[in-house]
Amino acid sequence: QSSTVPALALLALTAAACAPDVGTGRTAAEVSDGPSSAPAVIADRTIAVDPDRSRIHALGAKVTGTHDIWFDDWEGSLQLVGEEVAGLVITIDMNGMRSDHPVLTEHLKAPDFFSVEEFPTAGFTTTGLVAEAGSDGTTHTVTGDLSLRGVIKEVRFPAAVKNGAESFEAHTEFVI
């Protein structure tokens, strides 16, 4: 039995070191240095995003596993031109970030990661929304400025956007 214990321990270590790549099967966002040269969307009107029916979620990954990260304190608005969604503005209070483990949450807020004390907000502002059907059910390509830790980068990613008679729905999932 003594020879079985080391083999089981080695098997457990091997399994833990082989966490799957969370980006597999997901679309990678295109990221460009610096903010977009395009102006933010000029809207006819704006509608507040309902945070009770919406969420901002991330999946963090490391060699040994993954961690869910939620951003609970944020506000957003849809920019409309006529009756069509033309853009989105999101502002996130990074102090409202939490993960599936309290120690990780504190680490993510620390200076070596998001440095929340120095950079208390993050955000996204659309600079372009183009109707463009994707093979994965997406309907638009979104371009905008993503701000994290005081750095702004232009990102482009696919999204499914649906205009309803009394509501608008959008969903996106991408890897950065």
* Greater pLDDT, 156 or 61: 156
User: Do residues 141 and 27 make contact, with C-beta atoms less than 8 angstroms apart?
Assistant: no
Strands (E), 18-120: 27-28, 30-32, 45-48, 56-62, 65-71, 74-81, 84-93, 97-99
Q: How far is CA 71 from CA 56, 83, 122, 162, in A?
A: 6, 29, 10, 23
How far is residue 86 CA from its own chain's centroid? Answer: 19
Residue 174 CA to residue 152 CA, distance in Å, equals 18
Residue 19 pLDDT exceeds 60: no
User: Do residues 116 and 87 make contact, with C-beta atoms less than 8 angstroms apart?
Assistant: no
How far is residue 76 CA from its own chain's centroid? Answer: 14
Between vectors from CA 46 to CA 41 and to CA 49, what angle results, nearest 5°?
Answer: 110
How far is residue 69 CA from its own chain's centroid? Answer: 10
On the 0-12 / 13-18 / 19+ scale of CB atoms within 10 A, 5 is: exposed
Among the residues of the chain, which ranges form H helices?
4-16, 102-109
Residue 81 pLDDT exceeds 90: no
Q: How confident is the model over 91-140, as pLDDT tens digits?
A: 999 999 999 999 999 999 999 999 999 999 999 999 988 988 987 888 99
Across the chain, what does the average pLDDT equal? 82
Give the pLDDT of residue 108. Answer: 95
pTM here is: 0.79
